[in-house]
């Protein structure tokens, strides 16, 4: 999500169904109290889950 991937792209990358990707995104938003995907990405940066300028492992 931090790279702007939609559910279909996340699903393809993780080799899961689109519905499963959507479920994981929604559950993460609930757990972190995020209103939307953008806020969830902000939380990920603030928590150190995503480091600016560093690409995630593929």
Here the CATH number for the domain that contains residue 11 is 1.10.10.10
Q: Is 48 left (phi over 0), alpha (psi -120 to 50) or beta?
A: left
- Could you say which DSSP state residue 8 is in? H
Residues of the chain predicted below pLDDT 70: 55-58
Number of domains into which the chain is organized: 1
Q: Specify the pLDDT at position 39.
A: 95
d(CA 52, CA 45) in angstroms, rounded, equals: 8
Q: Specify the pLDDT at position 3.
A: 82
Q: Specify the pLDDT at position 51.
A: 85
State both tokens at 21. 């990707």
d(CA 2, CA 37) in angstroms, rounded, equals: 9
Residue 46 belongs to what domain range?
Answer: 1-58
The pTM (predicted TM-score) of the whole model is 0.79
Q: Specify the pLDDT at position 54.
A: 72
Q: Specify the pLDDT at position 13.
A: 93
| Number of Cβ atoms within 10 Å of the Cβ of 56 | 10
């Amino acid at each position: 999500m931090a790279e702007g991937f939609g559910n279909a792209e996340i699903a393809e990358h993780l080799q899961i169904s689109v519905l499963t990707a959507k479920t994981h995104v929604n559950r993460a938003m609930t757990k972190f109290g995020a209103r939307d995907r953008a806020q969830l990405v902000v939380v990920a940066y603030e928590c150190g889950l995503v480091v600016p300028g560093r690409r995630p492992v593929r």
